[in-house]
Amino acid sequence: MGGDFFLSYFLPPHQRCASQTLNLIASKDLADAVSKGQAGKLHSSATEKCAAIWHKVQTSTEAADALESIAKMKFTVPCLNQWSSEYYAINKLMSLTDSQLNELTEVLGVPRFTPDETAYLTEYNDVFKPVAFALDLLHGEEKCFLGIVIPTLLTLKRKLEEKAANTRLFSKVIDSTVKAIDSRFKQVFDSSDARLATATMPQFRLWWLPEDERESLRAQLITEVLQVDQGTEETETNGGSVHEEEFFSYGPGSSGNKGGKREAAEEVWLYLQGTNKDLKCLNEFPGVKKVFIKFNTTLPSSVPVQQLFTNGSNIVTPKGHHLSDEHFERVLLLRYNSKITTALE
């Protein structure tokens, strides 16, 4: 089978990390718009007081104990380069009552929050909750498919625009954030691969598309189903029978017969008419399933890979430099899967 065997394998196209791009929008574009907005000074003073609390908790066990005693919950210090980490840390502080918050600032020896500052942070958390939720989706491992990116971004834009009608302070910030999403993710929105990846996810199909764009993507999906089916047939058929089929041109799969295209169109039509959102339903549509695998093999986020190497422990250190690529991969995967094998014993 030699070289022909490897012709059926290909690398998926390069994609920017979706979670890092959205994190960049939140930590830079959104933050810049907030700082330049009408409540820029209020945002600065309020977040500085939050940072003072986090610093106390991080550097003093007594402060951490006092915080847990007053708040009745554990607090984590946010990671500086992750916007959602800071968002959830602020959210925890704002979940406290005014009396708890005043007691906490007094015990820690940091300035009290003014009523305007707490009202501002509460509204900030409410308005940008969809951004944090979208980041959580893109960070996830269970649905780490390229096809989830476009629906996540479209839903995020819609939810932010809904918030714009009811916010006192953030309408311009929301407008800047939506424009940043359109700009930074333009390549994804225009990508045929990303659109086909989404179309082959039963959770979304073509429901996310405007009506006037659905027919075009449906035609692309039929073409892809036909191509993957033909590719499978060519791989499974020996050379002699291929030449015979080209000579006679009768029956399904022959070059002179349009039955294959009709079958692909029928399968796609049945798939698009379905309402089952479970991935397992793709077993009923083998051609669509192959297209799903082709376009959703690409990871939209680097987070699962980062978590994989986090489990590498002392392997991903200078000590591991002497390992060959094959040995490194084997040891890393064995360590990562050790919890699974232990649970099965």
User: In the predicted model, is pLDDT for residue 240 greater than 90?
Assistant: no
User: In the predicted model, is pLDDT for residue 344 greater than 70?
Assistant: no
Task: Give the H or E element holding residue 182.
Answer: helix 171-184
CA dist., res. 327 & res. 27, Å (int): 38
Q: Please give the full DSSP string across 82-126, using - where no structure is assigned.
A: -HHHHHHHHHHHHTS-HHHHHHHHHHHT-PPPPHHHHHHHHHHHH
Q: Encoding tokens for residue 321?
A: 């430099």
pLDDT of residue 14: 67
CA 114 and chain centroid, separation:
37
Give residue 234's pLDDT band: very low, low, confident or very high (50, 70, 90): low
Residue type, 226: L
pLDDT of residue 261: 82
Residue pair 222/262 in contact (Cβ under 8 Å)? The answer is: no
Distances (CA, A) of 167 to 170, 233, 275, 340: 6, 57, 36, 47
Please compute the mean of the pLDDT values over residues 203-230 and round it to a whole number. Answer: 92
Give residue 310's pLDDT band: very low, low, confident or very high (50, 70, 90): low
Neighbours of 116 (CB within 10 A): 12
pLDDT of residue 299: 78
Q: Which residues of 55-90 are buried (b: 16+ CB within 10 A; e: fewer)?
A: ebbeeeeebbebbeebbeeebebbeeebbbbbbebb
CA dist., res. 247 & res. 256, Å (int): 10
Residue pair 56/21 in contact (Cβ under 8 Å)? The answer is: no
SS3 1: coil
Residue 163 or 66, more confident: 163
Residue pair 91/79 in contact (Cβ under 8 Å)? The answer is: no
Q: Encoding tokens for residue 4?
A: 């022909």
pLDDT of residue 3: 47
Angle at which helix 259-273 crosses helix 286-296, to 10 degrees, equals 80
Alpha helices in 297-324 (DSSP H): 303-310
CA dist., res. 219 & res. 196, Å (int): 11
pLDDT of residue 123: 94
User: In the predicted model, is pLDDT for residue 241 greater than 90?
Assistant: no
Residue pair 269/286 in contact (Cβ under 8 Å)? The answer is: no
CA dist., res. 63 & res. 68, Å (int): 9
Q: Residue 221: exposed, middle, or buried by beta-carbon count in 10 A (0-12, 13-18, 19+)? A: buried
Angle (nearest 5°) at CA 10 between 5 and 11:
145
Distances (CA, A) of 305 to 138, 311, 312, 333: 13, 10, 11, 12
CA dist., res. 339 & res. 335, Å (int): 8
User: In the predicted model, is pLDDT for residue 217 greater than 90?
Assistant: yes
pLDDT in tens, 246-256: 555 555 555 54
Give residue 74's pLDDT band: very low, low, confident or very high (50, 70, 90): confident
pLDDT in tens, 37-63: 778 899 999 999 999 999 888 888 888
pTM, two decimals, is 0.79
Non-local (6+) Cβ contacts of 271 within 8 A are 205, 285, 288
pLDDT of residue 253: 52
pLDDT of residue 173: 93
Least confident of 29-38, 177-186, 232-241: 232-241
Please compute the mean of the pLDDT values over residues 88-110 and round it to a whole number. Answer: 91
Residue type, 58: Q
